[in-house]
Structure 1
C-alpha cells in the first residue's frame, strides 16, 4: 500500500477545484479529501431554490457539530412556502443557525420570524435582512444587535411601524456601511451624526437625515430617483464619493438625461451603477442604441473622473453590462469598447 499524502497536499489540491460536483466527488474518495471538500462546500451557502435550501439545512441539522462550524456565509432569498408562524417552518432554520457559531455573513430576504436568531452565538460582520415586520425590527434593535459588536455592514428593510422605545444608543460600534428605508433607523444606528463610508437609501424620497459632514465623508451611496425634478441638491456635499448606485424610474431613454445632471457635483466619482424598474432587452447595454449612447456619453462628460458605468442587463438584477469610457477616433467619432458582462456580486463588492 502506498504511503498516504501529507494533509497539506489535500488542502492544495482542493484549492484548485471550483466546481461543486467535483468537490462532492472528491469528498467520496477518502476521509482527508472529504474533510477538505466539505470545508469548501459549506463555507458559503447560497441556495438557488427552496428545495436546495431545505436539503442543506437538513444536512446541517443531521450533523450540527460537524457541519455547523464550517459555515461562514448564509444567504436565503426564497420565501417560506407555508405559514411562517408554524414552528415546523422556522425551527429547522433556527437549529441550523445555532450550530453555525463561526457565521460571519447572514442575508435573509423575505419575511422570517425573529425567533430564528434567538440564542445564536455567532459574531457577524455582515447582516442583511429584508421585508421585516415591526416586531422583528424591534427585536433586532433591542435584543440581537446589542450582542453584535463587530458588524461592519448592516442592511434593514421593513414595511411596518416598529417600537423604538428602550433601544440602546451604542449599537454596532464598528459599523461602516448602512442600508435602510427608514430615516428613524439612521438616527438610531448613527447617533450624534456618526460617520460611515457607505450608505444605501432604499426609501422613495430623498434622504434628509444625513448631515453635511456625513455626506462629505461618504465613499459610496445608493438612492432612488423617481422624477426628473427630484431634489438632488444634497449631492453637492458628496465631495469624497467614489461609487454611486442609482435606481431610476425611467420611462424611455431620453428621460435619463435630465436625471443625471447632478453628476457634475461629484469630483471624485469613479463608478456609476444604473438600475431600472423597467426591462429594456438589448437596450440598456446596447452601445449601438444612439439614445442610450448619448446618455452614457453625457455621464462621462459631466464627470471627468468616471471610469465606467455598470448597467443592469435584465430584470433579475443579477447581471450588468460594464461600459468603459469611450475613446475618440481619428475622425472625431466616439469609439465604444466592447461590453463586459459582470455579476451583481462583483458590481457591489465595494459595499462589503
Structure 2
C-alpha cells in the first residue's frame, strides 16, 4: 500500500498534533504534506518534539502559508474557537478535502448550547449542520460518507463508550448517572499553566472545572439522543500526575437489570469492535492496559448498594481519546480497513 493520501496537520506543535504525526508516520496510506503551528512557525518539527529527530518531516509553517491544494485530508488539533473559520475557508476553497477536527468546535449540535459553554457564537453553523460526530463505534455509517467529522473529546469517548449501550438497552436510569473522571496532564494541553507545572501537579490528585467542564454537555447530548429525553449527568474531572491515560468510573442505578445483564449488553454491542474490549468478570480496567494504544477497556461490577452498578472505562487520552480515533475515522472516510495504522499494543511497563 503506497503513501498516496496527502495529509495536513493543523496545530502540530500540541500533544494531540504530535501524536497524530506519530501515528501518521506508521500509516501505510498517509503522506505528511503540511504541518502548521503558528507559534512555532519556521522551526523543524524535531526542534519542538525531539522524538521526531529520526524522520524527515516538513518544517512547521503558519496556517496562512499552507497550500491546501496540496492536501487531501486535514487533521485539526487547534484550540476551540479557532477552528470554525479555518474549516470554513479550507472547505470553501477546496470542497474535496476531508476535514477531521479534533477540537471542540463542531461537537455540539445546538448553537445555543455551544454559546453557553464556550462563551461566543458559533461562526460556521452552515458547516455544523453537516458535521458528523466522530464516536466511531456509534456513528460508523455516517462517518464513511462525511466530509467533516467532529471527533469527540477524550472524556466523552471513554464515558459514552461505557454508557450508550446500557442506555440504549434500557438497563440503567439515565437520570441517575454520576461520572468520576481522571486524566493525565496531557489532557490539559501543552501551553504553560500553573496547575500543570510539575511541582503543582506531581504527587497529588486535583479536581478541576467542577460542575462546569465543557465535556459535560457533549456527554449529555449523546446520552439524551439515545435516551429520547433530556439527560443531565453529574460529571467531575480530576488531574492525575501521569502523562497519558484516562479512567472514568460511572455510578449507575439499574432498572431491574443485573450486572450480568450489563456485561452482556457490552459484549453484544462491541462483539465485533476491534478497539473496544469488555473485561471478563473479576478483571478491572487499568490505564496501563491501554497506554499508547487505540483500545478502550470496559469493566462492570456490582455496587454493594442493591440495584446499583459501577462501570469503569479506560483509554489513552491522546490516542483513542483524540489522534487515534481521528485516524480510525480517516480510515473509514477513505474506505480503508478501520484498524490500519492502529494495531500497536499497549506500552507496558
Q: Which has the higher contact order (CA 8 A, sep 6+)?
A: 2
TM norm structure 2: 0.32
TM norm structure 1: 0.31
Q: Select the structure of larger CA radius of gyration.
A: 1
